[in-house]
């Protein structure tokens, strides 16, 4: 499923996804790594593995899908 499908059907997920992406940008920036799609994806994938039971797993997966789609569409080959 593509991220645009999820966001079209569940617009209420947009604020949590924005929060997850914003936090990822802040954490990657604090670590001194360059802020780009690849580093954000790596950070979110590691964070996804550490998620607790009550965390919003759907919003996390949507954020990862958004970054993957962005990388697919705008990435260099």
pLDDT the model gives residue 36: 92
Q: Provide DSSP, the chain.
A: --HHHHHHH-GGGHHHHHHHHHHHHHHHHHHT---SHHHHHHHHHHHHHT--TTS-HHHHHHHHHHHHHHHHHH---
Give the position of tokens 């797993």.
Answer: 57
Q: From CA 43, how far away is CA 9, in angstroms rounded?
A: 26
pLDDT the model gives residue 5: 54
pLDDT the model gives residue 23: 93
Domains and CATH numbers, the chain: 3-74 (1.20.5)
Question: In this structure, are residues 66 and 37 in contact, taking their beta carbons and an 8 Å threshold?
Answer: no
pLDDT the model gives residue 10: 62
The 10s digit of each residue's pLDDT in 10-66 is: 666 678 888 999 999 999 999 999 999 999 999 999 998 888 777 678 888 888 988
């Amino acid at each position: 499923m593509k991220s645009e499908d999820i966001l079209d059907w569940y617009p209420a997920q947009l604020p949590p996804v924005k929060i997850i992406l914003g936090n990822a940008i802040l954490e990657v920036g604090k670590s001194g790594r360059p802020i780009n799609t690849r580093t954000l994806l790596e950070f979110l994938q590691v964070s996804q593995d550490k998620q607790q039971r009550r965390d919003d797993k759907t919003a996390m997966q949507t954020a990862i899908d958004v970054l993957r789609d962005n990388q697919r569409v705008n990435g260099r080959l």
